[in-house]
Amino acid sequence: EVQLVESGGGLVQPGRSMKLSCAASGFTFNNYDMAWVCQAPKKGLEWVATISYDGSSTYYRDSVKGRFTISRDNAKSTLYLQMDSLRSEDTATYYCAREDGITWGQGVMVTVSS
Protein backbone atom coordinates (compact mmCIF):
# COMPACT_ATOMS: atom_id res chain seq x y z
CA GLU A 1 0.00 0.00 0.00
CA VAL A 2 1.30 3.42 -0.97
CA GLN A 3 1.49 5.55 2.16
CA LEU A 4 2.86 8.83 3.49
CA VAL A 5 2.85 9.37 7.24
CA GLU A 6 3.72 12.76 8.70
CA SER A 7 5.02 13.36 12.21
CA GLY A 8 6.59 16.06 14.34
CA GLY A 9 3.80 18.60 14.65
CA GLY A 10 2.48 20.28 17.77
CA LEU A 11 2.54 23.58 19.64
CA VAL A 12 5.55 25.86 19.28
CA GLN A 13 6.27 29.42 20.36
CA PRO A 14 6.77 32.21 17.80
CA GLY A 15 10.38 32.50 16.73
CA ARG A 16 11.17 28.89 17.57
CA SER A 17 11.83 25.92 15.26
CA MET A 18 10.11 22.66 14.42
CA LYS A 19 10.98 19.80 12.09
CA LEU A 20 8.36 17.74 10.31
CA SER A 21 9.02 14.27 8.94
CA CYS A 22 7.16 12.24 6.36
CA ALA A 23 7.81 8.52 6.07
CA ALA A 24 7.05 7.01 2.68
CA SER A 25 6.27 3.42 1.87
CA GLY A 26 4.79 1.35 -0.94
CA PHE A 27 6.60 3.11 -3.77
CA THR A 28 10.17 3.83 -4.88
CA PHE A 29 10.68 7.06 -2.95
CA ASN A 30 13.87 8.12 -4.72
CA ASN A 31 12.11 8.16 -8.09
CA TYR A 32 9.75 11.00 -7.18
CA ASP A 33 9.81 14.70 -6.49
CA MET A 34 8.10 15.44 -3.19
CA ALA A 35 6.24 18.41 -1.75
CA TRP A 36 4.78 19.99 1.37
CA VAL A 37 1.36 21.66 1.22
CA CYS A 38 -0.29 23.47 4.10
CA GLN A 39 -3.80 24.48 5.08
CA ALA A 40 -4.46 27.16 7.69
CA PRO A 41 -7.56 26.65 9.83
CA LYS A 42 -10.74 27.14 7.76
CA LYS A 43 -8.65 28.13 4.73
CA GLY A 44 -7.67 26.56 1.41
CA LEU A 45 -4.64 24.57 0.34
CA GLU A 46 -1.30 26.34 -0.15
CA TRP A 47 1.81 24.85 -1.68
CA VAL A 48 4.86 25.30 0.57
CA ALA A 49 7.88 23.65 -1.05
CA THR A 50 9.05 20.99 -3.49
CA ILE A 51 12.24 18.96 -3.67
CA SER A 52 13.47 17.01 -6.67
CA TYR A 53 13.83 13.22 -6.57
CA ASP A 54 17.56 13.42 -5.83
CA GLY A 55 17.46 16.49 -3.60
CA SER A 56 19.41 18.60 -6.06
CA SER A 57 16.65 21.17 -6.61
CA THR A 58 14.32 22.87 -4.16
CA TYR A 59 11.53 25.41 -4.58
CA TYR A 60 9.71 27.49 -1.95
CA ARG A 61 6.78 29.86 -1.69
CA ASP A 62 7.97 33.39 -1.00
CA SER A 63 6.57 33.58 2.54
CA VAL A 64 8.79 30.72 3.75
CA LYS A 65 12.00 31.37 1.78
CA GLY A 66 14.93 31.69 4.14
CA ARG A 67 12.93 30.22 7.05
CA PHE A 68 11.89 26.75 5.88
CA THR A 69 14.13 24.03 4.42
CA ILE A 70 12.84 20.99 2.58
CA SER A 71 15.14 17.98 2.48
CA ARG A 72 15.03 14.23 2.02
CA ASP A 73 16.86 11.07 2.98
CA ASN A 74 16.33 8.59 0.18
CA ALA A 75 18.02 5.80 2.14
CA LYS A 76 15.31 6.19 4.78
CA SER A 77 12.49 7.05 2.34
CA THR A 78 11.78 10.12 4.43
CA LEU A 79 10.96 13.73 3.57
CA TYR A 80 11.59 16.59 5.99
CA LEU A 81 10.53 20.18 6.52
CA GLN A 82 12.71 22.22 8.86
CA MET A 83 10.75 25.27 9.96
CA ASP A 84 12.69 28.09 11.64
CA SER A 85 11.65 31.53 12.88
CA LEU A 86 8.07 30.36 13.06
CA ARG A 87 5.27 32.91 12.95
CA SER A 88 1.64 32.74 14.01
CA GLU A 89 0.64 32.77 10.35
CA ASP A 90 2.49 29.46 9.86
CA THR A 91 -0.20 27.78 11.97
CA ALA A 92 -1.67 25.13 9.70
CA THR A 93 -2.04 21.47 8.91
CA TYR A 94 0.97 20.41 6.85
CA TYR A 95 0.56 17.68 4.26
CA CYS A 96 3.34 15.69 2.67
CA ALA A 97 2.59 14.73 -0.94
CA ARG A 98 4.17 13.30 -4.01
CA GLU A 99 4.72 16.18 -6.39
CA ASP A 100 2.57 14.43 -8.99
CA GLY A 101 -0.30 14.66 -6.52
CA ILE A 102 -1.12 10.97 -6.56
CA THR A 103 -0.36 10.33 -2.91
CA TRP A 104 -0.98 12.53 0.16
CA GLY A 105 -0.38 12.06 3.84
CA GLN A 106 -3.06 12.54 6.45
CA GLY A 107 -1.56 15.84 7.59
CA VAL A 108 0.05 17.04 10.81
CA MET A 109 -1.02 20.12 12.74
CA VAL A 110 1.44 22.87 13.61
CA THR A 111 0.29 25.59 16.00
CA VAL A 112 2.50 28.62 16.51
CA SER A 113 1.42 30.45 19.64
CA SER A 114 2.80 31.83 22.87
Partner 1 sequence: DIQMTQSPSSLPASLGERVTISCRASQGISNNLNWYQQKPDGTIKPLIYYTSNLQSGVPSRFSGSGSGTDYSLTISSLEPEDFAMYYCQQDASFPRTFGGGTKLELK
In contact, 69 and 82? CB cutoff 8 Å: yes
Identity of the residue, 46 or 84, whose beta carbon is nearer to partner 1 in the bound complex = 46
Rounded CA-CA distance 15/35 in Å is: 24
Rounded CA-CA distance 27/10 in Å is: 28
Applying CB under 8 A, the residues found at the interface with partner 1 are 35, 39, 44-47, 50, 59-62, 93, 95, 97, 99-102, 104, 106-107
Q: How far is the CB of 50 from partner 1 (least distance, A)?
A: 7
Other CB atoms closer than 10 Å to residue 41's CB: what's the count? 9
Identity of the residue, 53 or 104, whose beta carbon is nearer to partner 1 in the bound complex = 104
Q: How far is the CB of 26 from partner 1 (least distance, A)?
A: 14
